[in-house]
Structure 1
Amino acid sequence: MKIIPSLKLYFLVMMLITGVATISIMSVVSFKYFVYGIDIAIGDSMRSIANIENVSEGNPVGINDFVVASRWQDLPPIIQEKLDQNSLEDNQLLKALDGKPPFSQPKAAYFAIRLDVDGQERYISSMLTSESRPKFEDSGPPPFINLLLIGLTVMALFTLAPYFILRKIATPVEKLMLWAKQLNKKQLSLPAPDFHYSELNSLAKIVQSSLQSVQTILKREKRFLGYASHELRTPIAVTRTNTELLRKMISKGISSEKQLVVLDRIERASITMTDLTETLLWLNRQSDKSIPVKSISLGLMTQQLLEQLTYLLNGKNVDVTIETDISIHSLPEALCQIVITNLIRNALQHTQEGIITIQQSKSRLVINNQNMSDDKHDEELGFGLGLELTARLVQHYGWQYENVATANGHHVEINFA
């Protein structure tokens, strides 16, 4: 089983290792300096009595724990036994210990130094034993044990301190993790809570911003699918209907001229699907790239779109009149096709019995419908994906658009200028 590393445990272990290493090194250094300080104190004491008088060969002088002699041979035998004369260097303290410091108190310590006093050699020695010095008595643990106990105590405190610090930090981190885990669409619109630390608050804003971007993309993709399924219904229906019609015409041997007319409808429907898809992708991505314009006849386009949508009048008693001209305009063909298709489709869908008039003059298109039937639909003109998409396109291009409810229908007017 793979062990998942824990940031909390890693931090705690690293702090503990760092603390133990630091305290151990500092304890050793402290002990070294303690011993070094004793050596300096004894050496200074020896130097201060080196110029004592009445010192001659075979006549050493003792002062407290110190012996001052003019020859090495005049020093106490135990000093000569424990220390090596050949190791002596001028003005350098020579030392020997009985025992294993720092793990235990030394039983005895032997010191000697050689000095030059007014051109004469002086040998000063000292011997400290448990009998001569109370500090060597077995009255307590050695200094190193004390240092070790102090070090262990500091290490314990050093371990507890990161634990409480980590606990104080881990609480808002866990709060952030729980908040991020429970984020939903509703909470994304609310301000992020305060997680006590600025870094965590920044991280929360980044998480929220990222999820909001994802939510926006999903919403945009969902809207694209809705638009695509809505707008492609008509060209798909035209393609299927005319494909079946063409198959029947071929089987019955109808003239090729009439077959070409049907084939032309299928080709126009396929081009329409391509243009619609590209336009919807452009609108969905909110691209700054403009859609190319073409020279088109709004009148001819309106007539063709009405012809494609007449299947919506099957089983209805609706009289449709259309008036168009042959004026040519430079406009984005696919966008105009989407807008006109949706306006005509809504008029045909929501008129069960009555009159529909379509008038196109230059860049102006007017559609009126009067529904004389009592069969009311829940949807009204101006509702649904089709007119939502129409409103977005009209707003994007700044076309003049008006949709007004009348007594039995709607008056829709758009100017593509």
Structure 2
Amino acid sequence: MVEGLRLSLRKFVMLTLLAVGSVIIVLFSIQSADSFLDGMDGMLRTSMMQAAKRVQVTPGKPTKILEYHIAATYEDVPEVIKESFPQAFITPRALMKKIYKPNIFERPLSASFLVMVPQPNGQKVYVSQRFTAPPIETEKRFRINHQMHSILVGVAALVAFSIALLLLLRSVSRPVESLQAWAASLDESHLDKPIPDFRYTELNALATIIHSSLQRVKQTVEREREFVNHASHELRTPIAVVRSSIELLYRVVDVENSKGRNAVSRIDSAAKTMADLTETLLWLGRENGNELAISEVDVATLVKTLVDDLMYLLQGKSVSVTLNLDHCVKAMPATAAQIVIGNVIRNAFQHTYQGKVVISLTEDTLIVSNFEDNPASSSYLSPKGAEMGEGFGIGLKLIDKLTQKLNWGYHPEHSKQGYTVVLAMHAVNQLPK
């Protein structure tokens, strides 16, 4: 259907059936009128032919029986009949008729009929008849002709069909609307209640399918929620053990053993990344974001701290870091801000191998840009990766979900020289659920 002209199912069915019913009623009304007139003409033609066979007439001596005028020649036919039917157009045994009326809604003022009947002896007999409307009565009575009668019957049939159609659609649409309202109101608190009866077997089956699907979704959500609740405690413990063991290894490993210390350093870096990523995933998986406390956060100081903590990601790389930070203090969840800003900076550090990273803070907008000296050598700057928004790796997808949960503006921009993330941080009174 054309865009902008979409109809509801109820209106579509009603209009379609009304159109089909109207066409059928009109066609049957026309057929009824034609059949009635054809029957009348057939009866009149038969009567006129019977009169021609039973009455003997001679030229110049026409006769009249009942309302029929019978003549042996065309010249003996009444002048008014000859004016209506010229001799050249008369067909043997065919009923010739001419009816005069001002319009189809009024009774005819006059009607002329003629049948030419050939006889076995070769003689032609002309039987004619003419009707005229009766004189106008003093008190005019309302009369309905056959055409008007057919129209009124058709309109009455259409009205009756429309009423029956409306009652039928009402009987069907009400359970459908009830099913729609019930499905829209379903939530965790209503899933344990019994399914209402929607009268029809198909609607009850559809309601059962919807209810079963939502129950499976609820069970899946509950399992994920339990996993997050358990993982929030269980994952921190092994990470803390790894970090403690790394600190011990730093003391045990010989300072001169550069390979050993490099290996421990890589383990330490991986453990820090795993700890930050775990905190991000656990917080993102919590159902209520307002579990995080809101406080006044010095964003500039937070950015400096995160840059210092993440400098290990630039070890062994020819990358410079430039900070342009204005003073900015906002009311926000400190943990959430640390997670988001930390992920943005971490991704910039991780995916810059030779070049510079520029971090700017103006009012409540943080801009993190990385520029590669040789962009063509970096696979993450390929057009495909840029179109998919993967310039900073999988962390961008996490940042996107986190900023949506915090209601922050997040705009990654790709260029030939590098990748830029614009983060609009808004002060909040409480986090959205």
> Shorter-chain TM-score: which interval?
0.5 to 0.7
Residue equivalent to 1:142 = 145
**Gaps (5+ residues) in structure 2?**
276-433
Aligned residues: 268
- Provide the C-alpha distance between the structure 2 equivalents of 1:82 and 1:226, rounded to a whole number of angstroms: 102
Change in Cα spacing, 1:43 to 1:261, as seen in structure 2 (3 Å) is: closer
After TM superposition, the structure 1 = structure 2 runs for residues 18-417 of structure 1, keeping only pairs within 5 Å, are: 18-100=20-102, 102-119=104-121, 120-131=123-134, 140-247=143-250, 253=255
* CA distances 1:364-392 after superposition (whole Å, capped 9, x unpaired): xxxxxxxxxxxxxxxxxxxxxxxxxxxxx
* CA distances 1:16-75 after superposition (whole Å, capped 9, x unpaired): 323322222222221111211111111111111121243111112211111222211211
Residue equivalent to 2:388 = none
| SS of match in other structure, 2:43 | helix
- Provide the C-alpha distance between the structure 1 equivalents of 2:65 and 2:231, rounded to a whole number of angstroms: 111
| SS of match in other structure, 1:124 | strand
- Provide the C-alpha distance between the structure 1 equivalents of 2:142 and 2:71, rounded to a whole number of angstroms: 34
* Residues 238 and 265 in structure 1, CA contact (< 8 A), matched pair in contact too: no
Change in Cα spacing, 1:99 to 1:257, as seen in structure 2 (3 Å) is: closer
- Provide the C-alpha distance between the structure 1 equivalents of 2:45 and 2:259, rounded to a whole number of angstroms: 126
Residue equivalent to 1:328 = none
Change in Cα spacing, 1:139 to 1:83, as seen in structure 2 (3 Å) is: farther
Letter in 2 for 1:221: E
Give, in angstroms, the shift of residue 230 of structure 1: 4.3
Change in Cα spacing, 1:131 to 1:182, as seen in structure 2 (3 Å) is: closer
- Provide the C-alpha distance between the structure 2 equivalents of 1:122 and 1:138, rounded to a whole number of angstroms: 40
- Provide the C-alpha distance between the structure 2 equivalents of 1:130 and 1:56, rounded to a whole number of angstroms: 31
* CA distances 1:286-335 after superposition (whole Å, capped 9, x unpaired): xxxxxxxxxxxxxxxxxxxxxxxxxxxxxxxxxxxxxxxxxxxxxxxxxx
* Residues 250 and 261 in structure 2, CA contact (< 8 A), matched pair in contact too: no
Give, in angstroms, the shift of residue 218 of structure 1: 2.0
Change in Cα spacing, 1:46 to 1:258, as seen in structure 2 (3 Å) is: closer
Give, in angstroms, the shift of residue 241 of structure 1: 2.2
Change in Cα spacing, 1:178 to 1:192, as seen in structure 2 (3 Å) is: same
Aligned sequence identity (%): 31
Letter in 2 for 1:156: V
Change in Cα spacing, 1:59 to 1:263, as seen in structure 2 (3 Å) is: same
- Provide the C-alpha distance between the structure 1 equivalents of 2:87 and 2:231, rounded to a whole number of angstroms: 105
- Provide the C-alpha distance between the structure 2 equivalents of 1:72 and 1:246, rounded to a whole number of angstroms: 135
* Residues 113 and 124 in structure 1, CA contact (< 8 A), matched pair in contact too: yes
Change in Cα spacing, 1:188 to 1:20, as seen in structure 2 (3 Å) is: same
Give, in angstroms, the shift of residue 153 of structure 1: 2.1
- Provide the C-alpha distance between the structure 2 equivalents of 1:20 and 1:184, rounded to a whole number of angstroms: 45
| SS of match in other structure, 1:153 | helix
* Residues 255 and 261 in structure 2, CA contact (< 8 A), matched pair in contact too: no
Give, in angstroms, the shift of residue 239 of structure 1: 2.7
- Provide the C-alpha distance between the structure 2 equivalents of 1:139 and 1:72, rounded to a whole number of angstroms: 40
| SS of match in other structure, 2:54 | coil
- Provide the C-alpha distance between the structure 1 equivalents of 2:30 and 2:196, rounded to a whole number of angstroms: 49
* CA distances 1:136-163 after superposition (whole Å, capped 9, x unpaired): x975122222222222222222222222
* Residues 97 and 109 in structure 1, CA contact (< 8 A), matched pair in contact too: yes
Change in Cα spacing, 1:3 to 1:268, as seen in structure 2 (3 Å) is: closer
| SS of match in other structure, 1:188 | coil
**Gaps (5+ residues) in structure 1?**
274-417
| SS of match in other structure, 2:104 | coil
Q: Aligned Cα RMSD in Å?
A: 3.5
* Residues 249 and 259 in structure 1, CA contact (< 8 A), matched pair in contact too: no
Larger Rg: 1
Give, in angstroms, the shift of residue 243 of structure 1: 3.5
